[in-house]
Amino acid sequence: MEEHGKKLGMLNIFGLGLGGAIGSGIFVLLGFGIGYTGRSIVLVCVGGCLFMLLAYMYNVIMSSMFVFKGGDYSQKALLFNPTMTGFSATMALVNSMAMSSYALGMVNYISAVFPGVAPFTRPVAILIMTLFFASTLRGSRFITLLENAMTVILIGAIAIFVIGMPQVRPDYFSNADGGFFHGGFAGFVSAIAIMGWACQGTTMAPVSMVAVTEKPKKTIPLAILWITVALAGIYGVMSIVAAGVLPYDQVAGANLGATAKAIFPNSIYVVFILGGGVFAIATSLLGGIAMFRYPLMKIAEDGWLPPVFKKTTKGGFPWVIQLAFYLLSVMPILLGFSLDSIISLVMIPSMVMNVYLNMACITLPKKYPYQWKKCALRMPVPVYNIICVLSAACAGVVAFNLFKDLKGKDIIASIVILAICVGFSLLRIHTGAVKKEFLEENKKAIIVQALADDEE
C-alpha cells in the first residue's frame, strides 16, 4: 500500500481519465454519426457521453462501495455468475476484432492525402496491422515512448480542429441541408449507439486506479462525473465544427479530413491528417495491441482457453496468444466488413454484458448492507433500483440499435459471436476446464481483499 500522501487526488484522476477518454473514436466515427442525424450530432455527442455513463453505471456504483485493486475485472468477477464470467472471458477475444477498425480508419485518413492508396484499402490495412503487431516485439518501453509522442500530437490535432469554429455556417441551427434530426428520432438514437464507442471511456481509467486513489469511494465517482462533463464539452465543440462548415452530403459518413480541408490551408491540412487523424488512431491501435495480451494470458491461465494458449517463447513472449490476437484482428478486414460494422460487432456483446452488470447491482445493498451504508452514492433503495434499471436500459438501447442497423452478413456475424461467447463458456465449465468452485473462491478472495483495503 502506498503512503497516504502519495495517493492520487481528484485532479490526478481527472487528468488521467480525460486523457484516456479522448481517443480515436471521435476521429473515426463522427462522420457516421452525422450521417444518421445531421447537425444534431452536437446533441448526440453531449447527450451520448451522459448516456454511455449510464450504460457503464455499474463502474460508478461499485467504485462508491468497494475498493477493488483489480478495477473493472474485479467488479465483473463479483457480479457475474459462472456462465457470464466465461462470456466476459470470451469477449476479450472478440474485442480484439476492434483493432481492425483502427487500421481501416488510418487508411481512410491516409487516403485523404494520398488518394492512390484508396483502391488498396484492405492490403494496406493488413500491412498496418502486421507492422504494429511486430512493433510490440521490442517490448513495453518502446511502445510507451511511441504512445507518449503520439498522444501529444493527438491533443494538438484536436486544438487545431476546434480553431475552425468561426467558419461554422450561420444557419447551423436551421433544419435545411441535413439539419437537426435529419434521420428523425430513430436516426438520432442510432447516432448515439454508433457514437457510443467514442463516448464510452469516461469510467475505465478512473476505475483502474481505485487502489491508489485518496478517498476512492468519493473521489472516483465524482471524477467520473467531471470527466464526462468535460468530454461532452470537447466532443460537442468538435461535432459543431465537423457538421457545420460543409453541406451535409460532404460530411455524412466522411472522416474529419473533409472539414479540415475546407478550414485549413493545404500545409496545415496535411499536418492535421497525418499528425492528427493518423496518429490519434495509431495511439489506440498500438495501446490496444500492447494491453490486450495480458488479459488474454490471465484468461488462458484461468482455464477459459485451451492449454496451448499458455505457450510462450524462451523469453516469455506469449506467441500463441499474440498469433491468435493478430489473426482475429485482421479477420474482419479479410472478410470485407465496413468500419462501422466492426464497431457494432464488438459493441453489441459488450452492451449485452452491461445490461446484466447494471441489473446485478440491484442486489448489492441487500448483500453488502455495511458497504451500502457507507456508499458515497447512497440514496433511497427504490431510487437506486430505478437508476440500475435505467442504466441497463441504456446499454440495451445501444445494443438493440446497433443490431437493427446491421445488414446481411453483419447480422449473422453478430448472432454467431453471441452464440460462441455463451456456448464456449458453457463448454469450458461442462468439461471441467474451469471449475465453479474456483470461480466462487476467486469471488470470495476479491471481496476479502476489497474489505481489507476499504477506506472509511
Please give the share of the chain, as a percent, with pLDDT higher than 90.
Answer: 8
Neighbours of 252 (CB within 10 A): 22
- The CA distance from 70 to 302, in Å, is 15
Residue type, 164: G
pLDDT at 176: 65
Rg of the chain's alpha carbons, rounded to an integer? 22
- Three-class secondary structure of residue 3 per DSSP: coil
- 433 Cβ neighbours under 8 A, 6+ residues apart: 303, 304, 306
pLDDT in tens, 57-72: 998 888 888 877 667 7
pLDDT at 171: 75
Query: Residue 359 is part of a domain; what is its CATH number?
Result: 1.20.1740.10
In a domain, 247, yes or no: yes
* Structural domain harbouring 67: 24-452
In a domain, 120, yes or no: yes
pTM: 0.77
- The CA distance from 433 to 188, in Å, is 45
What are the phi and psi torsion angles at 213 (to 5°)? -110, 140
DSSP secondary structure, 380-399, as one string: -HHHHHHHHHHHHHHHHHHH
In a domain, 95, yes or no: yes
pLDDT at 383: 93
In a domain, 410, yes or no: yes
In a domain, 211, yes or no: yes
Q: How far is CA 285 from the centre of its chain?
A: 12
In a domain, 8, yes or no: no
- Three-class secondary structure of residue 228 per DSSP: helix
- The CA distance from 263 to 241, in Å, is 10
Q: Tell me how far CA of residue 414 lies from CA of 345, 410, 448, in angstroms.
A: 6, 6, 38
pLDDT at 6: 59
Q: Tell me how far CA of residue 383 lies from CA of 50, 58, 313, 449, in angstroms.
A: 18, 15, 53, 29
In a domain, 284, yes or no: yes
pLDDT at 287: 66
Positions of the chain with pLDDT lower than 50, given as ranges: 1-5, 140, 455-456
pLDDT in tens, 168-205: 877 777 766 667 888 888 888 888 888 887 787 787 77
pLDDT in tens, 230-277: 889 888 888 888 888 888 888 888 878 888 888 888 888 888 887 777
In a domain, 112, yes or no: yes
pLDDT at 456: 45
Contact yes or no for 421/94 (Cβ under 8 A) = yes
pLDDT at 3: 39
pLDDT at 455: 47
- The CA distance from 258 to 273, in Å, is 10
How many domains does the structure of the chain reveal?
1
